[in-house]
Structure 1
Amino acid sequence: MPLHPTHPLYKLFNPDAPEMSEEEKAKLESATYECGCHCGYIKYAVTLTPPLPEYEVLHCNCSMCRSAGYLLVYPERKNVKWHGDSQSRCAVYRFNTKQKDQLFCPNCGTSLMIDFKNWGRVFDGYGVSVRTFYGIDLDSLKYEKGRGLEYAPPAKDLSGTQWEIDEKERLEKEQAEKGAHPTPA
């Protein structure tokens, strides 16, 4: 199933495709969905063009998407509206190259979305898990099989080892800082 021309990543995979005009974009139908974590601590709204029944939800095979259970849609940053202070309540997990923040609820653990803020050159938005959309039927959606392992293979197999890697880096950094700034005894 090919990406819809309004999909934020469409041009990345179809560089020769013509740009949609603003007039064409204005004629397209959109829909806004209320979303949030399981416990209700984090809430937000997502506007999608086209609406979810016409959208191709990405079911990626990379290690993170598989572990988090992500089924992703890709709204631009301006199309995600956080309710109250929900954005500041999110916990963050970074792995491997640490270029993307994986946002989740610190209370119930719901995997919410991926923040692509450090990917501005390609896409300034989020990969939002449709599992967080209230009142939708996942079986009624159209899915695109993602091949994240092909596009961004892991540097090495990190399964079950990311904490040890991060802890080793933290300890090395801490030791280097102590060496650079000796503390009085």
Structure 2
Amino acid sequence: MSQNKEQTLQDHPQKKEDEKSSATYQAGCHCGYIKFSVTLTPALPETKVLNCNCSACTRFGYLLVYPEASSVTWHNDSRARCSNYRFNTKNKDQMFCKHCGASIGIDFREIYAPKHIYGISVRTFFFNVDLDSLTYRKLDGRNKVPPAGDLSGQYWDEEKHALK
């Protein structure tokens, strides 16, 4: 694993089995098309939530926790129901609901292989999550994550492999 990937992994709060008790949270999109559950160890509010100000996290409204894929259970094939958006390096899926537009999180499958990690937005959790009571870790992604360039108003044409 490259130093950059190792540093990025260290920057994200990770599940630690020997810490406090676990809790499972029911989650999903606004319209109910995507449903899943997430088990966090330790439970909220002890798990730190990443509050990043990069363009993606700001626009998608992300407040992220980073469970391993084995701690996320997708109901009714909901992972396959997620629409995906890739930008910049094109190596991670920004997951959202194609019906209501709710931002679900990020699939880091290709970045941390063989480890499979999700960045799940706690804004998708249904019950017992008071955002004001959570512990946040701030990341200045606006200044620490170099942009690929200003792509506002453009999109990637898969057939032509070019920006439009």
TM-score (norm 1): 0.74
Q: Which has the larger radius of gyration?
A: 1
Q: What is the rounded CA distance, in whole Å, between the counterparts of 1:11 and 1:171 in structure 2?
A: 34
| 1:145 has 2:138 as partner | yes
Alpha-carbon deviations, 1:50-72, whole Å to 9, x = none?
A: 10111111111111111100000
State the percentage of identical aligned residues. 53
Structure 1 segment 88-107 matched on structure 2, within 5 A: 88-107=80-99
| 1:12 has 2:4 as partner | no
Assess if the C-alpha contact under 8 Å between 2:20 and 2:43 holds in 1: no
Number of equivalent positions = 153
Greater helix content: 1
Q: What is the rounded CA distance, in whole Å, between the counterparts of 1:127 and 1:86 in structure 2?
A: 16
Alpha-carbon deviations, 1:132-174, whole Å to 9, x = none?
A: 001221111111111223442112122x2341xx13x74367x
What amino acid is the match of 1:155? A
> How far did residue 27 of structure 1 move?
5.8
| 1:57 has 2:46 as partner | no
Change (3 A) 1:84 1:47: same
Q: Cα RMSD over matched residues?
A: 2.5
Greater strand content: 2
Residue 171 of structure 1 is matched in structure 2 by 160
Residue 179 of structure 1 is matched in structure 2 by none
TM-score (norm 2): 0.83
Show structure 1 runs of 4+ deviating over 6 A: none
